[in-house]
Amino acid sequence: MGVKQGRRDLSGSKVVVIGGGNVAVDSAITARRLGAGEVTMVCLESREEMPALEREIKEAIEENVKLMTSWGPSRIISSEARVVSLELKRCASVFDENRKFCPQFDESTRRTLDADMIILAVGQRPELSYVSPELETVIGRIRVDSSTQATNIRGIFAGGDNTSGPATVIEALAAGRRAAASINCFLKDLDTKTDIENENRALRLLGFDPSCFEKSSRTNMPCRPIIERNPDSEDSLGFSSSEIESEAKRCFNCGCVAVNPSDVAPALIALDARIKTTKRTVKAESFFMAGRKGSTVLEEGELVTEIEIPRLRPGTRQGYRKFRIRQSIDFPIVSLASVFVMNGDEIEDARLVIGAAAPVPLRLVPVEDFLKGKKISEQMAGEAAEIAVRQATPLRKNDYKIKVTKALVRDAVFELL
């Protein structure tokens, strides 16, 4: 393997890396790719206790990195200002009975490794000299609320290794996402004039892909052959578009299963109403929307003062159907609010909203799109009913709601004749 200009040539060298984490593994692999003839990783932990990811360790072994587990450095032996060898002593245990780091050594069991270079990769700690002394820390890390990443100082959030200790990039990204959501909420509290319509996109109900229930195996990411691996390119070749799509379809949204039983909400959304308060005007579809850590909550002193309903267009027919098992005042099992604009026996426009079937009133947009421009027939009404439940996945013992929804949609359309 060639060596780029300015890069150290380790051809034939014996390199010892001290540490058992991911950084140590990366250092060992890089040394091999720079030409080191022999690379040995030395760590206090046993093979099972090593903090490095298992796939990283396996990759190191594939590239002929030697592992010496349960050994710790005793002293570095040098001659004429050059490293000659590393003396090791056996590590009997790494943690105490409370799983706190407290290595114990067998001083009588030692051995020596020849070495031309020793790389220390035994840990890291954050540089916190720049932060306020009022910021709470624990074991040299910033203390945060694990659900919001908020520190003890209002308006300051933290994440990543600064708070968790050595972890993965994915864990750092997750902390960043939690912090971003919390910062957004914090800033919204500062600016109470935020219009909920600006948040509508973020608060929309997440989609559900029923194909996630199909049995599938994890997609294995292809890697470069060992002989082609080098420090200048990624080992993993990435997924193709089809593989990404296949992997994404293995996930599904397991969100809140509570439902909104309101009769008013579906009707106002179907009518495209706007709700006026003492501080703002909000479309009904946004007003009744809810999402993760978000919903329409009136501010202190804010009152609903008026509901605006657009003037109905000529040929408009509206209805509200409610399936229930007791008196009319009872919560619906499923409800359907519908507004149709007719042009003879053809549907020019439609808005359909079901209630009590999701955490929020749910517009049947695919059904609306299907109906536009269609002439009414029994067959067409049945097709609309099937489209209404195409992406629906009922809870256990709740599949009767599928049949109820189909019946409500079919009747609403067919009765236009």
304, 321: one domain:
no
The answer to the question of residue 388 being in a domain is: yes
The CATH number that applies at residue 344 is 3.30.390.50
Task: Return the pLDDT at 201.
Answer: 42
pLDDT of residue 197: 43
Residues 395 and 368 reside in one and the same domain: yes
Say whether both 321 and 304 belong to one domain. no
pLDDT in tens, the chain (417 residues): 344 555 678 888 999 999 999 899 999 999 999 999 999 999 999 999 998 989 899 999 999 999 999 999 999 999 988 999 999 999 999 988 888 888 999 999 999 999 999 999 987 777 888 888 899 988 788 999 888 899 999 899 999 888 888 777 888 898 999 999 889 888 876 654 444 444 444 444 455 566 666 777 888 888 888 888 888 888 888 888 888 888 877 766 544 455 666 789 999 999 999 999 998 898 998 888 765 555 677 788 889 999 999 999 999 999 999 988 766 566 788 999 999 999 988 999 999 999 988 878 899 999 999 999 999 999 999 999 999 998 787 776 778 889 999 999 999 999 998
Cα–Cα distance, 101 to 97 (Å, whole number): 10
226 and 150 co-located in one domain: no
Q: Which residues contact 10 (CB under 8 A, 6 or more apart)?
A: 31, 34, 35, 36, 117
Which one of 290, 308, 326 terminates a domain? 308
One domain for residues 280 and 335: no
Q: How far is CA 227 from the centre of its chain?
A: 35
Instruction: Specify whether 23 is located in the same domain as 109.
Output: yes
Q: In this structure, are 37 and 99 located in the same domain?
A: yes
pLDDT of residue 91: 95
Asked if residues 357 and 266 have their Cβ atoms less than 8 Å apart, the reply is: no
Q: Which helix (H) or strand (E) holds 32?
A: helix 22-33
Q: Is 198 inside any structural domain?
A: no
- The candidate with the shortest Cα–Cα distance to 43, out of 66, 14, 12, 10, is 66
Cβ pair 89, 107 in contact under 8 A: yes
Q: How many domains does the chain have?
A: 5
Entry pTM: 0.49
Does any domain span residue 242? yes
Residue 6, domain member (yes or no) = no
The pLDDT assigned to 199 comes to 44
Length in residues, the chain? 417
Within a domain: residue 354? yes
At 146 the three-state DSSP class reads coil
What percent helix, strand, coil does the chain show, rounded to 5? Answer: 25, 25, 45
356 in the same domain as 303? no
Domain that holds residue 75: 14-120
Distance CA 363, CA 186 (A): 30
DSSP 75-141: EEEEETTEEEEEEEEEEEEEE-TTS-EEEEEEEEEEEEEE-SEEEE--------TTS-TTS-EETTE
| Same domain assignment for residues 20 and 63 | yes
